[in-house]
Structure 1
């Protein structure tokens, strides 16, 4: 289904952005160049495919979008499905761009705090290797992959939207709404904390977005991190919604009533096959079987890759928080799930059943500041 020839322009553009962002990171001694481009690149790749009829067959000048021969047949008209997906991704861009702007990350001198911490933990040479391979390279490729769903959509029949499209679209809008609320709650908290600690002007609750006008207390400010609102049920509600949004976008063309259809293998069957010693021996003797077995699942590559990024990077982010707030954040991890609110409920129930109400009250005191027996979090 996926054709590299169809990605001729996106690959050219991705290579250009990778090289220029790496050079810019060296010149500025700031590796957050890709971070600043993060909210623009997925919409660019999505728009390239969704708006194929706009582009000429040959580039007007270097890096100008064009339609390769492999896509000429589907570039005659617009795909309603791909256009809908582009609309959703543009809304995603607005949300992320707004949050990036108010955090100051569009300032060319600012750098994501995680890169600054990581720089102190690695030799300069190894950090530059990481910068080239992962920060500038792999991340740009990952952002390119997020354009695959719109590519699949334009390769499908350009029929009217169906129930599955409206379902995925509605879920995507709901996820963007919750992610916006989570962002606002975190921003509101940090505004209050900085005002309380005397690092900024007076905090005014009325200036915050609806859904983020929470009643912060001195205990919240002293704790150092937000645990109210959506953050009471998930340690990273924004990350959970972000991943889920791209899963919804990835599934738009996959669950539409037109090809490609995922194979009718259940995941337990897949796991049983891959863990079977005979299957492993067969794959070792004929590696192409592994490719054939997984190829039908290639439409899921964007969402899987995006989730793998968060699953690998979030623990590092949490380790930084844990080093700053060892007692309170350890309690937060023990009491609240990383992404899923369901895990938070399970943690609370498990604590109550195995360690009793008193232990649960102590953790609630550390995390939420509402229970008896709360201990000092610093």
Structure 2
């Protein structure tokens, strides 16, 4: 019990005087999201995409709580223009992501991210009893607590800007970061739109069949537009957006990120990059198993950071270097 109490008291980041109401809200959503995975949905005995549905909604809820704290406990203090811009942009990010999730069907009863079944299968090598216990620990510790904790961490730098930011003239770095964040939200929206249009076109042309010759000719996956320069442009924009937000909050509040004591500003974005790198790896393994031509796309196109596609000569040399050495025939 002492261990559980210390975990509860130390996160979300109690060392920086986070309010008890925010801590209670965080742990309540962790426990509730875990319990909801036991509720049958749409013919499924279990559903592990509860947190996936909270992903677009969760960060703005912390902003609302911090804005309420500002109005409730600080007499006469208003949001600075820097904080107001940031809050508005995060709400735009949330609305856009919600819209994209709704049209993809992520909020349908019983809808679940296709990757969870593959993650669940990775526990199959264990003894059934041990595997079941390990999976439930993973379910609570990673799917619920870790992911919601990450969502708290990526928006957490905004807390200081909302509660303690003072009104001042916009500096050139602040303006540049603001423009960059807007461009990244637009870039993510464009990438998602291109992917959605491709999927709709594929369904319309092929009736949802993945075995038609025309679909095989296209490759079965989006590879044009922004996807020509990055295999996951939406993921790159998402990572860069939260990293830019952390830097923007530090600049607007006068925090020196060169000081190791302030490295916690970048903790959330760094963890997000590591998590999404692993998630992208799983996604690509599944896609490659379904569409063999995806290997050629991997050789030509940057994984995350947008870059000019590789030439045919580079692809051939890379493939030749990676191929196993052929055995000499007698």
Q: Give matches, 1:153-302, under 5 Å.
A: 153-163=161-171, 164-199=173-208, 218-219=214-215, 222-256=218-252, 258-263=253-258, 294-302=260-268
Which of 294, 306, 310 is equivalent to 1:329?
Answer: 294
In 2, Cα distance between equivalents of 1:307 and 1:74: 39
Q: Mind listing any 5+ residue stretches in structure 2 that lack a counterpart?
A: 1-12, 41-45, 125-130, 321-330
Aligned to 1:37: 54
Aligned partner of 2:135 among 127, 132, 136: 127
> What are the equivalent positions in structure 2 for 1:39-78 lying under 5 Å apart?
39-55=56-72, 72=73, 76-78=77-79
Choose from 317, 324, 329 the match for 1:355. Answer: 317
The alignment status of 1:314 with 2:280, answered yes or no, reads: yes
Instruction: Give the Cα–Cα distance (whole angstroms) in 2 for the partners of residues 198 and 152 of structure 1.
Output: 51
Q: CA RMSD in A?
A: 2.7
Structure 1 residue 322: Cα displacement:
1.4
Distance 2:144 2:215 in 1: 40
In structure 2, the residue matched to 1:92 is 93
Residue by residue over 1:246-274, the C-alpha shift from the partner in whole angstroms, topping out at 9 and shown as x without a partner, is 11211112123x4311226xxxxxxxxxx
1:105 aligns with 2:106: yes
Question: Unpaired segments of 5 or more residues in structure 1?
Answer: 56-71, 201-216, 265-293, 360-378
- What is the TM-score with the length of structure 1 in the denominator? 0.70
Q: Alpha-carbon deviations, 1:151-192, whole Å to 9, x = none?
A: 121354411351333322211111111111110110111111
Native 8 Å contact 2:230 2:304 kept in 1: yes
In the alignment of these two chains, the number of paired residues is 292
Contact 1:88 1:169 survives alignment (8 Å): no
Query: Quick one: distance in 1 between partners of 2:221 and 2:175?
Result: 37
Asked if residue 19 in structure 1 is aligned to residue 31 in structure 2, the reply is yes
Report the alpha carbon displacement of residue 306 of structure 1 after superposing the two structures with TM. 1.6
- CA distance in 2 between partners of 1:47 and 1:103 (Å): 27
Conserved in 2, the CA contact under 8 Å of 1:105 and 1:111?
A: yes
Is the CA contact (8 Å cut-off) linking 2:71 and 2:77 kept in structure 1? no
Structure 1 counterpart of 2:156: 148
Deviation at 1:350, TM superposition (A): 7.1
Q: Which residue of 2 aligns with 1:363?
A: none
In structure 2, C-alpha distance between the alignment counterparts of 1:20 and 1:89, rounded to whole Å:
24
Aligned to 2:7: none
TM-score by length of 2: 0.80
C-alpha contact 1:50 1:83 (8 A) present in aligned 2? no
